[in-house]
Structure 1
């Protein structure tokens, strides 16, 4: 009896073993693809639509410089005259005068962090470039330049992290090449590089510098070409020399660095491209784009299409624009600025009234 009893339980154990083994035979292997973006937003945030909380209409502006903090914008507003730099803070009703700019109000370039303004001035000794504090309107730094009446400055631009300020310096002398100046705010140092190999490429109309100060994007109009037939030239600074890495036809001077390796630009066909210099990958993000602007954290994009008068916002992830929504209708924007916290959008554009007249309007949209 004991032997039979033992045989009975042995058979049971053997059957269970077969069942468990059969389950394992059918087990599948899964491959999980992890994106190269280490900071992925939660799924509920990715699927969340944009909700407009408030829309503020601002006074007409002769020039907008951008945001000095999350609730204040800097510009020259027509209600206060044309000779004053002003701050307009929430609820955006009465501009506050910051500094009289001696009528030199258009050569102003504010850093992305809203702390400094670069201003070019021209005297009998030649051009000068100074950095002015937005907080108190006082001059903080004068960038050392060669005093020469034959020299003029153009295309001043800040890096996204507000550390580097770059500018082109050209001469009226035919034999002298254009140079690019790169000023490091942290080290208080200026480096200049001659653009010898770009000398015969055409007329410079734009420049953009990466956060590490080592990569540059030039926009150039080739000789005997219309202004909308320009070329983007991506170069690197290597051992104090400029090396050309990539060229592409563009539709204007607007370019954007996503990081030190990837940048975005509008092609001649109004296609918004992203280029990765690490592997030479060129991706299409959007088509028929007339204007665009990425948020400071590179997670949102505001844009308008060439055949419409609407303003759109979408979430930028990888090489995709997701959750696109129309946030304003009836306006053709030509200036877009994201607030520092990426929760508000400052836009300036043209709106056609009911009597078919074009009006210049400025808005702030809070999300």
Structure 2
């Protein structure tokens, strides 16, 4: 009898304990195996081992400016001819020693790199042309497809802004001028729907009254969000926001470096270098700013956003893996050039590097000088 009472009391205690636990939150710890990640890290470390360095056109960068890659072994360059009275667009194939002319402007227009934009997929180049006496934007196909013309523009509008593509090569952004009040507007051309949408900027921003106040516009892959880089009190400032009707609405601003480069990491996150020289990532979902790297200059992300190339200490170029808000497996891949342009090949197996080479002058106290000429290289990884 005593045993029955004991077991009955024990059963009641257990039932009460279980009933009490049902209303509480349970905390579970999940351990994710990292064997695959460790293997990937090993592979990526070997990826950054330099195999060969190729000079592009024997380093004659004074004649060409590399825009980026059209395929794994093919660069697209902007060149000049006739003493820089007109421009050419060329293809430079492996081993990068000669140019194949793709487009030749015959009316004496000289194109600058900020008003020529190669799509990230390497299929189109956007630049201004003269059409029936007016300036227009041309989308030139590099794959043998049809070329396209976008509505009339003026050279003043393009002079002040860098044309940019969304990372999925769908949207092309550039500046426009409102015919009524001559104020700056943003043009976004959709290559799928083949139409242009025009957006004004909030009128309470006193600095955005003219096209000269805009530096660049970077549209997200879905076309709904954008980053505007603008000049504000002699400082470059980025504004992250979205389109609201025909206006751009800013929700976050941050001063950035003089280079003004911005890249979307994914649909909700952007990367930029602040005025302090640090690389940051801003996430729209929670309005959190994360520090990725300190004291860098130029940076570029690979097309798949798995890798990053960046410069430090002026003339040192590094490659690394980008994983979430972490930069891993950082490796020095080149030293002795101050880069002005970098681009990953589509397969991430090469990095195009363009900039000013350094050389040393022997004086009572040795000094490092920047050479007058520019050079361009292709770094191939093992």
Indicate which of 340, 345, 365 corresponds to 1:334. 340
The 8 Å contact of residues 347 and 364 in structure 1, kept in 2 or not, is answered as: yes
- Name the SS of the counterpart of 1:42 in structure 2: helix
Unpaired runs of 5+ residues, structure 1, are 1-28
CA RMSD of aligned residues (A): 2.8
User: 2:231 is matched with which residue?
Assistant: 221
Q: 1:57 aligned to 45, 55, 58, which one? A: 55
Deviation of 1:308 (Å) = 3.6
SS at match of 1:155: coil
Instruction: Please give the alpha-carbon distance, in whole angstroms, between the structure 2 residues aligned to 1:86 and 1:221.
Output: 33
Change (3 A) 1:124 1:150: farther
Output the CA distance in 2 between the equivalents of 1:77 and 1:41: 45
Structure 1 residue 141 corresponds to structure 2 residue 148:
yes
2:157 paired with 1:152? yes
Question: What secondary structure does 2:182 align onto?
Answer: coil
Q: In 1, distance between residues paired with 2:335 and 2:165?
A: 31
Which residue does 2:16 correspond to in 1? none
1:237-271 Cα shifts (integer Å, max 9, x gaps) = 13444221111111132100011210011111011
C-alpha change, 1:33 and 1:216, in structure 2 (3 Å) is: farther
In 1, Cα distance between the equivalents of 2:326 and 2:301? Answer: 13
- 2:175 corresponds to which residue? 168
TM-score by length of 1: 0.81
Match of 1:288 in 2: 295
Say whether the 8 Å CA contact 2:135–2:155 is kept in structure 1.
no
The answer on 1:312 being equivalent to 2:318 is yes
Contact kept in structure 1, 2:178 and 2:185, CA below 8 Å: no
* C-alpha separation in 2, matches of 1:240 and 1:357: 46
Alignment partners' CA distance in 1, 2:31 and 2:349: 31
Q: Is the 8 A contact 2:262 2:270 kept in 1?
A: yes
Any idea what the Cα deviations from partners look like across 1:93-137, whole Å, max 9, x if unmatched? 11111121234332321111111111113579653111111234x
In 1: Cα distance, 2:184 partner to 2:355 partner: 34
Structure showing greater relative contact order (alpha-carbon pairs closer than 8 Å, 6 or more residues apart): 2
Q: 1:190 to 1:41 in 2, by over 3 A?
A: farther
TM-score by length of 2: 0.78
Gaps of 5+ in 2: 1-26, 362-368
Larger radius of gyration: 1
Cα distance change on mapping 1:160 and 1:213 into 2, 3 Å: same
Give the superposition deviation at 1:220. Answer: 1.2
- CA distance in structure 1 between the aligned counterparts of 2:307 and 2:359, rounded to whole angstroms: 30
Q: CA deviation at 1:194?
A: 1.6
Are 1:46 and 2:41 counterparts?
yes
Question: What are the residue-to-residue correspondences of 1:38-117 with 2, within 5 Å?
Answer: 42-48=37-43, 49=45, 50-59=48-57, 60-61=60-61, 62-77=64-79, 82=84, 83-102=87-106, 103-106=109-112, 107-117=115-125
**Map of 1:261 onto structure 2:** 268
Alpha-carbon shift at residue 276 of structure 1 (Å): 0.3
User: What is the deviation of 1:235?
Assistant: 1.6
Q: Distance in 2 between matches of 1:115 and 1:150?
A: 24
Counting only pairs closer than 5 Å after superposition, residues 339-350 of structure 1 correspond to structure 2 as 339-350=345-356
Deviations 1:138-178 (A, max 9, x none): 86111134x7x6973333211000011111113698x4331
SS at match of 1:282: strand
Equivalent position of 2:216 in the other structure: 206
- 2:379 matched to which residue of 1? 365
Counterparts of 1:318 and 1:162 in 2: how far apart (Å)?
23
Indicate yes or no: 2:190 matched with 1:188: no
